């Protein structure tokens, strides 16, 4: 099973017939909308947000057709679900691609590229500077990256010590991964006497598919970012490089503005007025916020009784299809249902996750 098939199969499993193919294409592509944010949360697939950024609709459909032909999924009323055979295949798939467990798109996708740029230029410069070679071609020409590296770069004597430290940090982290992951990672980096390889070139050297190289590498970046943030003291240099990157901003830009206004104590109606936006748009924002911010209370928008009825309906019906739940609870609006399911997402989403 190739990468697209495996990941698509995984999404089909997680969405379990509750969204159409195009419904989760945006998710795979990493397009941040209220819908993908809340779906990611609701179906517990946030970590794979943006995992296949270049996947086109045609290709996705073609892949689904292949899966169907192979008996790994079945199609009913325009919706796909995974068959038993598919389940089995999916297990195998994750067994041979276990690096995907480290992938966390929702959290790290925006930081991926800047972090890589910075890390590779930093390492390239360090690798040359400790050998007193200053005539290399920098792998980044972006003045912003050059500037960031310069402001973080150690002076004279400290350079070798910095190199020793970064060596220890990276060695420790790479040891936690498979050899292939580590090989991919070091080959992508530029050093004294060798320019970094492109994903394609790494694929040729290690004889594995290019998408796989790409995902192994991206997973590693996510892993590094996570470690750099989490265990601050142990990874001093990585932490320094990751500092200031755009992490932990799960909301869409527009929802962020709404969130600021809420924090200033504005009511929903006031926000609609101030922002001159449709009610439904602001409602989308509130759903997003409910998903991501623990301290946001939905109580002003849904009564306790309604909350109970919604959760009840969900437990009984065992579906996240809003339409089905809505049909059962005629008098409660979609907005309220989404808000409650969004808030409860973590509790609801844990049933037998593959990851």
Partner 1 sequence: MTFLELQTLLYERFGYREFRAGQREVIEDIFCKNDVLAMMPTGTGKSLCYQLPGYVLSGAVLIVSPLLSLMEDQVEQLKRSGEKRAVALNSFMDFQEKRRVMKRLSYYKFIYVSPEILQNDYMIRELKKLSISLFVVDEAHCISQWGHEFRTSYLKLSSIRSQLGQPPCLALTATATPEVRKDICDKLGIPTCTEHVYSVDRPNIALVTEQHQVHIDKLNRVLELASSLEGPGIIYASTRSWTEQLSEMLRQHGKNRVAAYHGGLENEDRLLIQKQFLNDELDVICCTNAFGMGINKPNIRYVIHFHLPSNIESYVQEIGRAGRDGRQSLAVLLYSSGDADLPEMFIDHEYPNEAQVIHCASLPANDLQGFMEMLDRMEMGESARRFLFYQFEKEGYFSNEGYPLPKDARERILSKIQQRKAHKRKKLSEMVEWTKGDFCKRKKIGDIFCETSQSIEWNCCSFCKLDLGLFYRKEEKERFFDEPVSWQKELRYIFNQESDDVHEKVGSISADPANERQGASN
Q: In the complex, which residues of this chain contact partner 1 (CB under 8 A)?
A: 113, 116-117, 123, 126-127, 130-131, 135, 137-141, 143-144, 147, 160, 163-164, 166-167, 170-171, 174, 179, 182-183, 185-187, 189-201, 204-206
Question: In whole angstroms, what is the distance from residue 188 CA to residue 326 CA?
Answer: 50
- Whichever of 93 and 185 has its CB closer to partner 1, that residue is 185
Q: How far is the CB of 144 from partner 1 (least distance, A)?
A: 5
Buried b (16+ CB within 10 A) or exposed e, 14-30: bbbbbbebeebbbbbbb
- Whichever of 5 and 169 has its CB closer to partner 1, that residue is 169
- Whichever of 163 and 247 has its CB closer to partner 1, that residue is 163
- Please tell me the number of Cα atoms within 13 Å of 318 on its side-chain side: 2
- Whichever of 170 and 228 has its CB closer to partner 1, that residue is 170
Closest CA to 55 of 81, 34, 27: 27
- Whichever of 151 and 352 has its CB closer to partner 1, that residue is 151
Q: How far is the CB of 193 from partner 1 (least distance, A)?
A: 6
Q: How far is the CB of 182 from partner 1 (least distance, A)?
A: 4
Q: How far is the CB of 5 from partner 1 (least distance, A)?
A: 24
Whether the Cβ atoms of residue 29 and residue 52 lie closer than 8 Å to each other: yes
Strands (E), the chain: 73-76, 79-82
Q: Please enumerate in sequence order all residues whose Cβ is within 8 A of that of 317, keeping only pairs 6 or more positions apart, or say none.
A: 324, 325, 328
How many other C-beta atoms can be found within 10 angstroms of the C-beta atom of residue 256? 15
Q: How far is the CB of 63 from partner 1 (least distance, A)?
A: 23
Q: How far is the CB of 31 from partner 1 (least distance, A)?
A: 19
- The DSSP code for 18 is S
Task: Reduce the DSSP state of residue 19 to 3 states and report it.
Answer: coil
251 token code pair:
């909301």
Q: How far is the CB of 257 from partner 1 (least distance, A)?
A: 19
- Whichever of 106 and 189 has its CB closer to partner 1, that residue is 189
Q: How far is the CB of 53 from partner 1 (least distance, A)?
A: 11
Question: In whole angstroms, what is the distance from residue 224 CA to residue 245 CA?
Answer: 13
DSSP for 51-98, written as a single string = SSTT--HHHHHHHHHHHHHTTSEEEETTEEEE-HHHHHHHHHHHHHTG
266 token code pair:
């504005």
- Whichever of 127 and 307 has its CB closer to partner 1, that residue is 127
- Whichever of 38 and 190 has its CB closer to partner 1, that residue is 190
């Amino acid at each position: 099973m190739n990468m697209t098939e495996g990941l698509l199969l995984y999404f089909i499993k997680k969405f379990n017939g509750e969204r159409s193919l195009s419904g989760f294409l945006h998710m795979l592509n990493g397009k941040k909308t209220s819908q993908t944010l809340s779906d990611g949360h609701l179906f517990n697939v946030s970590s794979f947000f943006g995992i296949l950024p270049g996947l086109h609709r045609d290709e996705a459909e073609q892949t689904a057709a292949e899966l169907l032909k192979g008996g790994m999924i079945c199609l009913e009323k325009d919706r796909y679900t995974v068959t038993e055979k598919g389940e089995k295949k999916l297990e195998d798939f994750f067994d041979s691609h276990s690096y995907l467990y480290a992938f966390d798109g929702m959290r790290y996708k925006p930081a991926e590229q800047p972090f890589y740029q910075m890390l590779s230029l930093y390492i390239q410069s360090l690798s040359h500077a400790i050998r007193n070679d200053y005539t290399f071609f920098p792998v980044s020409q972006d003045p912003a990256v050059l500037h960031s590296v310069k402001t973080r770069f150690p002076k004279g004597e400290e350079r070798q010590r910095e190199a020793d430290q970064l060596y220890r940090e990276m060695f420790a982290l790479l040891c936690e991964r498979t050899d292939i992951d580590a090989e991919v990672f070091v080959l992508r980096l530029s050093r004294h006497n060798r320019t970094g390889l492109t994903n394609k070139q790494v694929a040729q050297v290690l004889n594995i598919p290019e998408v796989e190289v790409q995902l192994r590498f991206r997973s590693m970046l996510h892993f590094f970012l996570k470690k750099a943030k989490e265990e601050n003291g142990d990874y001093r240099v990585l932490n320094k490089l990751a500092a200031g990157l755009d992490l932990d901003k799960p909301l869409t830009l527009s929802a962020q503005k709404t969130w600021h206004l809420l924090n200033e104590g504005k009511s929903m109606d006031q926000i609609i007025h101030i922002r001159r936006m449709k009610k439904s748009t602001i409602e989308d924002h509130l759903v997003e916020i409910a998903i991501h911010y623990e301290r946001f209370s939905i109580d002003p928008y849904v009564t306790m009784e309604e909350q109970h009825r919604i959760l009840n309906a969900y437990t009984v019906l065992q579906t996240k299809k809003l339409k089905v739940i809505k049909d059962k609870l005629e008098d409660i609006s979609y907005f309220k249902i989404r808000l409650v399911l969004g808030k409860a997402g973590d509790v609801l989403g844990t049933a037998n996750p593959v990851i």
